[in-house]
Amino acid sequence: MNRRTLTATALAAVCALGLAGCGGSGTSAKSDKPAATTRAPQLKVSGAYMPQPVTDKMAGAFLTVENTGGADKLTSVTSDLSDDVSLHTTKGNAMEHVSSLPVPADGALKLASGGDHIMFMGLKHKPAEGQKVTLELHFAKADAITVQVPVKSATYRPATGGGHGAGSGDMDHMDHSGHARK
């Protein structure tokens, strides 16, 4: 909600800049595509981790893509761990494949346990805690970003300093077991 407000404000600011930039062209200041597309995304990845997978059939990874520029989208992920890497979102208790995840302007795409995540199927090997998995994130506009993702314990949760997910009751219910039990 807050973020939506921020994004709207940012877009308005970008629009204003865009229009000012086009001022020389006279009366046709009207643009039919959003001015935000003219602003380059500025992306930075942080907090990446992969809980140690239980089997070699699948794994999930989480990270945050911070953006101090214009809007972008995470469109695909490639990795040496698997040839089948996809983007998933979580709806209720079910995961859904999505073709892209938005990286809002002046915001962040946050992949987190129980929410959006990167899904690896058919692992080439089973990564162990302490190892690293190399990912390449591909975006609609920004250049690809390579990330070395540390493998953590299967029950690892990042320290967020704030309420969510800290309780042990949370542990099992949002893991990837749903995919295993088919």
Contacts with Cu ion by CB under 5 A lie at 88, 95, 119
Phi then psi for 99, rounded to 5 degrees? -85, -20
CB of 20 to Cu ion, least distance (A): 44
The alpha-carbon radius of gyration of the chain (Å, integer) is: 19
Write down the least CB distance from residue 95 to Cu ion, Å.
4
Least separation in angstroms between CB 80 and Cu ion: 19
Residue nearest to Cu ion (CB): 88
- The residue among 24 and 92 lying less far from Cu ion, judged by its C-beta, is 92
Indicate the residue among 67 and 79 with the shorter CB distance to Cu ion: 79
Q: Which is nearer to Cu ion, 39 or 117 (CB)?
A: 117
**Distance of closest approach, residue 88 Cβ to Cu ion, in angstroms:** 4
**Closest distance to Cu ion from the beta carbon of 117 (Å):** 6
Q: Are 101 and 67 in contact (CB under 8 A)?
A: no
With respect to Cu ion, which residue has the nearer C-beta, 11 or 119?
A: 119
* Complex with Cu ion: residue 39 or 88, whichever CB lies closer: 88
